[in-house]
Amino acid sequence: MQTMRTTCPYCGVGCGVLATPDGRGGLAIAGDPAHPANRGRLCVKGSALGETVTHRGRLLAPHIHGREAGWGEGLDLVAQRFSRTIAEHGPDSVAFYVSGQLLTEDYYVANKLMKGFIGSGNIDTNSRLCMSSSVAGHKRAFGTDTVPGLYEDLELADTVVLVGSNLAWCHPVLYQRLAAAREERGTRIVVIDPRRTATCDIADLHLALAPGSDAALFNLLLAEIARRGMTDRDFAAHLEGFDKALATARETPPSTTGLTHSQLQQFFDLWLGSEKVVTVYSQGVNQSDSGTDKVNAILNCHLATGRIGGAGMGPFSVTGQPNAMGGREVGGLANMLACHLEIENPVHRQAVGAFWNAPRMAQQPGLKAVDMFRAVEEGRIKALWIICTNPAVSMPEADRVARAIAGCDFVVVSDIMAQTDTTRLAHVLLPATGWGEKDGTVTNSERRISRQRRTLPPAGQARDDWRILAAVAARMGWAEAFAWDNPAQIFAEYAALSGVAGDLGSDFDISAHAGITSAEYDALRPFLWPQSARRQGGRFFGDGRFHTPSGRGHLVAVTPRLPSAISDKFPYRLNTGRVRDHWHTMTRTGLSPRLSRHLAEPFLELHPDDATRLGVAPASLAEVSSPHGRAILRVLVTDRVARGHPFAPIHWTGETAPSGRIDALVAGVTDPVSGQPASKSAAVAIRPFAARWFGFAVSSGPIRPDCEYWARAVLANGEQAELAGLDHPQDWTAHARTMFGLSDEPLVLHDRARGQVRLAFLREGRLRAALFVAPEPVGLSRSHVAALLGEGGAEALAGRPGADRPDEGALICACFGVGVNSIVQAIATQRLTSVEAVGQALRAGTNCGSCRPEIRALLEAGIACRTAAE
Ligand SMILES: Nc1nc2c(c(=O)[nH]1)N[C@H]1C(S)=C(S)[C@@H](COP(=O)(O)OP(=O)(O)OC[C@H]3O[C@@H](n4cnc5c(=O)[nH]c(N)nc54)[C@H](O)[C@@H]3O)O[C@H]1N2
Ligand SMILES: Nc1nc2c(c(=O)[nH]1)N[C@H]1C(S)=C(S)[C@@H](COP(=O)(O)OP(=O)(O)OC[C@H]3O[C@@H](n4cnc5c(=O)[nH]c(N)nc54)[C@H](O)[C@@H]3O)O[C@H]1N2
Ligand code: SF4
Ligand SMILES: [Mo]
């Protein structure tokens, strides 16, 4: 079987992957040593890609109103309804909502169809929720949306500052590169995050600043730069707006940040201590109602010191999705045109229109995501096409967005999965080819364009997203402009358009590839843009030349604003984000048993003082509510979060835990410049959830719970579910039968004194399903019970392992299946002191390395215990 070089479909690090078909429909996965992003490394999500290319749950055929239909019928209907809506109500009555997980070629076609042929700007993307504040900040400072630096700058820097970035979990391979550089050359690392994350593990300094106060912090830094006389006078000649930015910065009271004088001084000393400083930032900066200002406050400091565009220095916005960057280049945002050209610029519009031979160029920006769904709600958008994103889960005010979609006249959804919270709302459902089945390009955080390559046949009747879009365009009467045979031709057209853009002064110019042939495209090696006769790769702005009208870099005067005040009714500010082993709405990582074992349930990290005040016990359930919705979450009491500022992950959905949909709580408040939602600061109330019973279930078949709280996860041999309810069912046996879809007679243990019920369904002495119920959170070894499925027998009812079976506890190392209990025990009994030693003893942490921060934390705890005891 031939090994293919391809690119990971998860985060913006953009790691190269070697994928080898195993001949049984699956893939063997390894890191590509030749790819410059990862040089052979992969994190746990990348390593587990083989487990996610199954056909389980895939959407295999087009559906119209829930019934299977042919492609011809589906495409005809989409084209007719869009054409008719446009004819009756004008081009702005339709919209596309797309995704940073589309390939550049898919994105290019969607954008061309909407902005050049339908004639509306109404195409926006989930990058609005992700990168748009960085885009807007870059444009204000540089004149273009340009990431100046390269990954190697993190390795060449003396100081790396991570602002609102949990790099260890969200960009794990970049984190590993940074951790390795620190071992080698002693890089100093600062983490700026209200929460103590896994990333703090390698930090010399963690600043748990007041939520939302980043702009204040960087204003204080700017003032300090001037005070210490550390501005770069030569570089200042290439800048404008300096004096005003500095004057405004000087007005910032240090107390805004909630940090002590000494913490601030330590930070200033570290940032200013070496010219080689990189400031990495991510969603703790972007996802704020002052996100663009936060970005500019950071950029101001790099501009003022001239620390930009040189080796080992510069601001670095890391992108989240595999093609977030490609989508920005291709003009996927409602306010952009392709190749970093601007929709509001008549010269740019004219140039793109002429290149496309477009009958009807959009004349103005379209609706940004939050406004787009409001327009859907109000009936102004009458036909909507959602591609490669799950807005009924991931948009703020998610319940309202779901209702808006449900109320829209005509909704098309293209996805790879049959059942998601969004596909459920579609009138027409179109099956797309997924990762491994499609061909195209993506751009990673450092502007490197890499190929994703096809290694597997399409699942069922699935088609490539660009082919679906082009087929609809043809049926709408534009066959000629959408007549590509393969993605290489689309890429060549795009590269040619970038040459036109380059002539107009755009930084994004890859016209060196304008004549690319299919064979060359197939052989295309990862490359950095730009690639043109003018310029190849490299860093930007070190030469002091910017893309603003004056050619100067711009410092923006920033008056820090904190998130809107919380009220007595909703006194907690909810922070949201990601966990290590899941990806967004889990449609793919949720298929992998080993990825599902790290954290199998939605949770709420709550400070011990808050937990005491609220009367919620560890491992109990809390009800979290906001004016927009409610959620029920497992309580995790921890001082990693600050008082009043709990944290919850974003990944759970109607499919996996209907009461865990976090965006049901988040208000649709946006940054005024970028339109990006403030996803990290929802005002919420919290109270104990008064469950009468708690349960845990395992089954070798699907589990269909029917109670107020449930969360399910896949196992290697079935499923597991956490359960809780307000009222006891009349009959536990009947309840369990319905939930497991079994009609057998279970073995029942009823401990009336303790209020416990245990049921086991056996067939030929082997365990098929079991349910454990108790009046308090069920305390038993999940991994042990799960391991008994298909074997064991009545002993499952004991709920804990016999002496011969160690209980692994929560899974830490997903690669080798090593749980927390084994690690803690090995650390204690073998007196281990380093991550390497744990690796030698148990193999944990020796493959992808994603769990090394957690192992290090366990080591520290273990060593602290030992020292205290000695
Ligand atoms: N495992 C995993 N990795 C992923 C993804 C995934 O789903 N799972 N998704 C990818 C995508 S699309 C993205 S966008 C990236 C996101 O990558 P990150 O931005 O690193 O991840 P988040 O967890 O969203 O948020 C980062 C941190 O911001 C902090 N924060 C909250 N409020 C503030 C604040 O006011 N100031 C500061 N300084 N920090 C604050 C949070 O506590 C959190 O730790 O991850 C990518 N990588
Ligand atoms: N509260 C809160 N909300 C957030 C965030 C946060 O930090 N806090 N983060 C925001 C961010 S940064 C992001 S990026 C979004 C992510 O949110 P979404 O984009 O909604 O999440 P995904 O689960 O990645 O959705 C991708 C969908 O596309 C499907 N899919 C996968 N591959 C393909 C393909 O090749 N073609 C097609 N047509 N479909 C495919 C998947 O099955 C899935 O249904 O969430 C945002 N929402
Ligand atoms: S760091 Fe992990 S998720 Fe991100 S691209 Fe690399 S392997 Fe994929
Ligand atoms: Mo994102």
Q: Whose CA is nearest to atom 1 of ligand 2?
A: 679
Give me ligand 1 centre to Cα 164, in Å.
7
> In this predicted structure, what is the pLDDT of residue 812?
82
Q: Is-cis flag, bond preceding 672, omega within 30?
A: no
- Does 615 fall in a domain? yes
Residue the block writes with tokens 């769904």:
373
Report the alpha-carbon distance of residue 43 to residue 28 in Å, rounded: 15
- Does 567 fall in a domain? no
Q: Whose CA is nearest to atom 4 of ligand 3?
A: 11
Boundary (domain end) residue, out of 768, 798, 828 = 798
Report the alpha-carbon distance of residue 434 to residue 58 in Å, rounded: 9
Q: Which amino acid is at 26?
A: G
Residue 677 shares a structural domain with residue 698: no
Answer yes or no: is the C-beta of 785 below 6 A from any ligand 3 atom.
no
Give me ligand 3 centre to Cα 100, in Å.
15
- Does 805 fall in a domain? no
Tell me which residue of 686, 396, 676 sits closest to 566, measured CA to CA. 686
Position in ligand 2 atom list of the atom nearest CA 576: 8
Report the alpha-carbon distance of residue 495 to residue 502 in Å, rounded: 10
Residue 338 shares a structural domain with residue 433: yes
Position in ligand 2 atom list of the atom nearest CA 438: 35
Burial 349-358 (b: 16+ CB within 10 A, else e): bebbbebbeb
> Per DSSP, which regions of 318-405 are E strands?
383-387
Pocket probe for ligand 3: among 17, 39, 43, the residue whose CB has the most ligand atoms within 8 Å is 43
> In this predicted structure, what is the pLDDT of residue 643?
96
> In this predicted structure, what is the pLDDT of residue 519?
97
Give me ligand 3 centre to Cα 847, in Å.
14
What global pTM score does this model have?
0.95
**CATH number of the domain encompassing residue 157:** 3.40.228.10
Tell me which residue of 530, 475, 542, 473 sits closest to 505, measured CA to CA. 530
- Does 331 fall in a domain? yes
Ligand nearest to the CA of 661: 2
Q: Whose CA is nearest to atom 15 of ligand 1?
A: 320
- Does 397 fall in a domain? yes
Residue 729 shares a structural domain with residue 657: no
Residue 629 shares a structural domain with residue 751: no
Are 611 and 643 in contact by the 8 Å Cβ rule? The answer is no
Q: Whose CA is nearest to atom 17 of ligand 2?
A: 394
Give me ligand 4 centre to Cα 122, in Å.
20
Residue 820 shares a structural domain with residue 730: no
Boundary (domain end) residue, out of 291, 317, 343 = 317
- Does 545 fall in a domain? no
Q: Which residues pair with 688 in a beta bridge?
A: 622
Position in ligand 3 atom list of the atom nearest CA 583: 3
**CATH number of the domain encompassing residue 452:** 3.40.50.740
Position in ligand 3 atom list of the atom nearest CA 10: 3
Helix (H) or strand (E) holding 68: strand 67-68
Give me ligand 3 centre to Cα 814, in Å.
15
Ligand nearest to the CA of 588: 2
User: What is the total count of domains within the chain?
Assistant: 6
Report the alpha-carbon distance of residue 141 to residue 284 in Å, rounded: 20
Residue 301 shares a structural domain with residue 412: no
Mean pLDDT, contiguous 10-residue spans, the chain (870 residues): 93 98 91 97 95 94 98 98 98 98 98 98 97 97 97 98 98 97 97 97 97 98 98 97 98 96 98 97 98 98 98 98 96 93 96 97 97 98 98 98 98 98 98 97 98 96 98 98 98 98 96 97 97 95 96 98 86 97 95 87 97 95 97 96 97 97 97 97 97 96 97 95 95 97 92 89 92 92 86 68 58 81 84 88 85 84 61
208: Cα within 13 Å, side-chain hemisphere:
11
Residue 48 shares a structural domain with residue 176: no
Answer yes or no: is the C-beta of 46 below 6 A from any ligand 3 atom.
yes
Alpha carbon distance, N-terminus to C-terminus of the chain: 57
Q: Whose CA is nearest to atom 43 of ligand 2?
A: 389
**CATH number of the domain encompassing residue 831:** 1.10.10.1100
> In this predicted structure, what is the pLDDT of residue 801?
58
Ligand nearest to the CA of 129: 2
Residues lining ligand 2, judged by CB closer than 6 Å? Answer: 99, 101, 126, 129-130, 283, 287, 320-321, 387-391, 393-394, 414-417, 420, 432, 434, 465, 576-577, 584-585, 587, 650, 662-663, 666, 679
> Quick one: tokens of 637?
């009491």
> Quick one: tokens of 534?
């003018």
Residues making up the chain, counted from first to last: 870
Q: 145 exposed, middle or buried (CB, 10 Å; 0-12, 13-18, 19+)? A: buried
> In this predicted structure, what is the pLDDT of residue 823?
86
Give me ligand 3 centre to Cα 47, in Å.
9
Helix (H) or strand (E) holding 415: strand 410-415
Secondary structure (3-state) at 431: strand
Secondary structure (3-state) at 207: strand
Q: Whose CA is nearest to atom 11 of ligand 1?
A: 320
> Quick one: tokens of 6?
């391809």
Residue 392 shares a structural domain with residue 474: yes
Residues within 5 Å of ion ligand 4 by Cβ? 130, 320
Tell me which residue of 113, 159, 179, 163 sits closest to 475, measured CA to CA. 113
Boundary (domain end) residue, out of 798, 823, 845 = 798
Containing structural domain, residue 198: 132-317
**CATH number of the domain encompassing residue 615:** 2.40.40.20
Which residues, including other chains, have CB under 8 Å from residue 795's CB and lie 6 or more apart?
Answer: 788, 802
Give me ligand 4 centre to Cα 654, in Å.
20
**CATH number of the domain encompassing residue 37:** 3.30.200.210
Residue 126 shares a structural domain with residue 136: no
Pocket probe for ligand 3: among 6, 15, 47, 583, the residue whose CB has the most ligand atoms within 8 Å is 15
Contacts 24+ apart (CB under 8 A), 716-720: 716/593, 716/594, 717/786, 717/789, 717/790, 718/786, 718/789, 718/790, 720/600, 720/696, 720/782, 720/786
- Does 806 fall in a domain? no
Residue 123 shares a structural domain with residue 26: no
- Does 537 fall in a domain? no
Are 315 and 298 in contact by the 8 Å Cβ rule? The answer is yes
Q: Whose CA is nearest to atom 46 of ligand 2?
A: 394
Helical residues (DSSP H) of 570-682, grouped into ranges: 593-596, 608-614
Residue 365 shares a structural domain with residue 419: yes
Helix (H) or strand (E) holding 124: strand 123-125
Residue 190 shares a structural domain with residue 252: yes
766-774 vs 811-813, strand pairing mode: unpaired
